[in-house]
A and B are shown apart, each in its own frame.
Chain A
Amino acid sequence: MNTDIRVSRTSNAAKVAAVLGALIVVILIAAPYWAGRADLRLMGEVFLYLALASLWNLLAGYAGLVSVGQQAYVGFGGYMLFALTIFAGLPPLVAIALAGVLGALISIPVAALIFRLRGAYFAIGTWVVAEVFRLVFAQVSALGGGSGTSLPTDIVRSMAADRSAREALSYWLALGAALIVVTAVYLLLRSRKGLALTAIRDNELASASLGIDIWRTKFFVYVVTSGLTAVIGALIFLQKLRISPDAAFSVNDWTAFVIFIVVIGGIGTIEGPIIGTLVFFLLRETLADLGTIYLMVLGLVAIVVMLKAPHGIWGFIRHRFNLQLFPLGYRVVIADHTKGD
């Protein structure tokens, strides 16, 4: 017997996926030159939802922080974009980046407070925080109070010369944000911290006994996720050009849908949110005319998936075909040179 045993991270499927992924990204970057205006807008929305879903998946699927209050940071980021451009006169791109920094900063005291709650009570605690954010911003009359405000036209014009250039820029920002988020999540999970996170996901008690500081790891993930969510929030409202407290801090738009996306796609995997986002928009575009019925179907699908296939669509595929497109795990490869013996 002459067997060569090695430990490998990558696989042929992952290599093919990487090449295909790069190809798709190139095609998507060129979208403003081949896609219509409505399609461009829809695709921008898809990317922003993909980013939100990937972030929530990192938070809930890996760090075990099941938050139903991430709309706090979506809304916060959106309002920061408006406040920083209108009052401080900052260019929108600078304001978006700064919104992320501020979002991360404000999430520090929030985390210190709500990390006292455990499990499901943590979830509702995050919702309370989001409500506080909504009510506070509704009190700021300079930002339109309860009825909201629009982004002034001179700020919108300062971004790009004409409307189509502006729409292309907005699209590229959304695509860039989604790529950055997915890549960041992937790199984080491949790092030392990611190993700790995966261990926490699989067994909190066991990972604590191996010396992982659970509180600090979760705190780190919460702050990073919140900052990035604020960036996405700023981009969402850059696309909408109008903000109001109810839209900015909507639990349905920014949390319920995002959770459904992650659950349907497959929680605790990088591929899951991508598939979930595609399924979500496919459902939305085909059933949107049904209005409320569509949302009931969505809720029902999420419940059925949770009960019957808790690992979602990707969990099913991975289990069935032993596939991993983003190589995170290690696998033992046994190359048998003496075949036929």
Chain B
Amino acid sequence: MDFVNAVVQGILLGGLYALFAAGLSLIFGVMRLVNIAHGDLIVLAAYLGLTTTVVLGVHPLVALIVVVPVMAGIGYVLQRGVLNHTLGDDILPPLLVTFGLSVIIQNALLEGYSADPQKMDAGVLETASVALGPLSLGLLPLLTFAIAVAVIAALQWTFYRTPLGRAFRATSDNQDIAQLMGLNKRHVFGLAMALALAVTAVAGILLGIRTSFDPSVGGGRLIFGFEAVIIGGLGNLWGTLVGGVILGVAQTVGATINPGWQLLAGHIAFLVILAVRPNGLFPRISG
């Protein structure tokens, strides 16, 4: 029974990891950029959520109304102001610049909020649960998973059914020709980063309700998101959800066997899949 429970909890946890990963997957798909600061941006969103709930006295989920547009704005400015200048054939500049950003964000948060762990108070949502046969499912993990599915469905729809998605796919396929067809790639990239950070905002708030966080946890979140992306296969959004679920299940099952093995089990699952299926389970594009 413990085992079944662990698997179910792991699936739900996978929803959160898929949210960490969706933004990474999106920007990699559009501009082949890997953002090392992604995890720190998730943590930044959590802190913005915390400040919003404290200042306005609202529920963390209501804070999304503020945090999502703010993060999207940060994304657009960051992309046009800094990251667009790093794109090119060389992978070093984007990597190093986002590494620098990561250090800056981490230390700015440390300066502003101190190293004390923080947590958002979501009232009954944190403890409420639904009984499903012999299992007891927390309302928050269920809600997180539902949000993850909804966000990925929305991203998928945006990508394949809207003019914006067409612009994303066109620039992804061939930047120069997209430019010739009247798309401004710098603007398109800005919008992609804005969308990615909007998703990051959702991920950050849900993270902040679920567990306590401090400025140093960003790197770990980046790694979970990255693993979900690779397990699922590059450029495949639904694959990313599957990747998140596999990672979540590996962690919760590992934790049932030995509490110290939670993170290790997740990483090992990732390395095994990398050894067996180097391109992930459902690859769309090659790295």
Please report A residues at the B interface, Cβ cutoff 8 Å: 60, 66, 68, 113-114, 116-121, 123-125, 127-129, 131-132, 135-136, 138-139, 251-252, 256, 259-260, 263, 267, 292-293, 295-296, 298-300, 302-303, 306-307, 310
- Across-interface contacts of B234 in A (CB, < 8 A): 121
Q: Are B93 and A296 in touch, CB under 8 angstroms?
A: no
Using known A-B contacts A113-B271, A120-B94, A138-B260, determine if residue A260 contacts B223 with beta carbons closer than 8 Å. no
Q: Which residues of chain B from 94 to 149 have any CB-CB distance to chain A below 8 Å in the complex?
A: 94-97, 99-104, 106-108, 110-111
Is B222 an interface residue when CB atoms closer than 8 A count as contact? yes
Q: Are A131 and B267 in touch, CB under 8 angstroms?
A: yes
**Least distance between A269 CB and chain B CB atoms (Å):** 14
Using known A-B contacts A121-B230, A310-B93, determine if residue A296 contacts B267 with beta carbons closer than 8 Å. no
- Across-interface contacts of B250 in A (CB, < 8 A): none
Q: Which of B33, B96, B219, B287 contacts A306 (CB 8 A)?
A: B96
Nearest-CB residue, chain B, relative to A256: B103
Contact with A along B194-231 (1 / 0, CB 8 A): 00000000000000000000000001101100110010
Using known A-B contacts A68-B36, A128-B271, A293-B111, determine if residue A120 contacts B97 with beta carbons closer than 8 Å. no
Using known A-B contacts A251-B219, A299-B101, A306-B100, determine if residue A131 contacts B95 with beta carbons closer than 8 Å. no
Q: Which of B97, B103, B111 contacts A307 (CB 8 A)?
A: B97
Please report B residues at the A interface, Cβ cutoff 8 Å: 33-34, 36, 82, 85-86, 91-97, 99-104, 106-108, 110-111, 219-220, 222-223, 226-227, 230, 234, 260-261, 263-264, 267-268, 270-271, 274-275, 278, 287
- Across-interface contacts of B270 in A (CB, < 8 A): 128
- Across-interface contacts of B108 in A (CB, < 8 A): 292, 296
- Across-interface contacts of A306 in B (CB, < 8 A): 86, 92-93, 96-97, 100
Q: Which of B33, B100, B220, B222 contacts A302 (CB 8 A)?
A: B100
Q: Which of B92, B100, B219 contacts A303 (CB 8 A)?
A: B100
- Across-interface contacts of B99 in A (CB, < 8 A): 68, 256, 259, 302
Q: Are B267 and A135 in touch, CB under 8 angstroms?
A: yes
- Bound-state CA distance A52–B25 (Å) is 32
A-B contact count (CB 8 A): 125
Using known A-B contacts A306-B93, A306-B96, determine if residue A299 contacts B274 with beta carbons closer than 8 Å. no
Q: Are A292 and B222 in touch, CB under 8 angstroms?
A: no
**Least distance between A132 CB and chain B CB atoms (Å):** 5
- Bound-state CA distance A89–B260 (Å) is 29
- Bound-state CA distance A262–B107 (Å) is 21
- Bound-state CA distance A121–B101 (Å) is 18
Nearest-CB residue, chain A, relative to B85: A307
- Across-interface contacts of A307 in B (CB, < 8 A): 82, 85-86, 93, 97
Q: Are A118 and B104 in touch, CB under 8 angstroms?
A: no
Q: Are A118 and B275 in touch, CB under 8 angstroms?
A: no
The contact sample of 9 A-B pairs, CB cut-off 8 A, is A113-B271, A119-B287, A131-B223, A252-B103, A299-B102, A299-B103, A302-B100, A303-B100, A306-B93
Q: Are A124 and B97 in touch, CB under 8 angstroms?
A: no
The 4 closest A-B pairs by CB, nearest first: A120-B34, A299-B103, A116-B278, A292-B107
**Least distance between B233 CB and chain A CB atoms (Å):** 12
Q: Are B275 and A124 in touch, CB under 8 angstroms?
A: no
- Across-interface contacts of A292 in B (CB, < 8 A): 107-108, 110-111
Using known A-B contacts A120-B91, A306-B93, A307-B97, determine if residue A132 contacts B267 with beta carbons closer than 8 Å. yes
Q: Are B93 and A118 in touch, CB under 8 angstroms?
A: no
- Across-interface contacts of A119 in B (CB, < 8 A): 34, 91, 287
Q: Are B268 and A132 in touch, CB under 8 angstroms?
A: yes
Extra contacts besides A125-B230, A125-B274, A129-B271 (8): CB < 8 Å: A68-B95, A124-B223, A128-B227, A263-B96, A296-B103, A298-B103, A299-B100, A307-B97
- Across-interface contacts of B220 in A (CB, < 8 A): 131
Q: Are B227 and A296 in touch, CB under 8 angstroms?
A: no
Q: Are A135 and B264 in touch, CB under 8 angstroms?
A: yes
- Bound-state CA distance A127–B224 (Å) is 11
In this complex, the member of A68, A124, A131 whose beta carbon has the largest number of chain B beta carbons within 10 angstroms is A124
- Across-interface contacts of A299 in B (CB, < 8 A): 100-104, 107
Nearest-CB residue, chain A, relative to B115: A292
Nearest-CB residue, chain A, relative to B104: A299
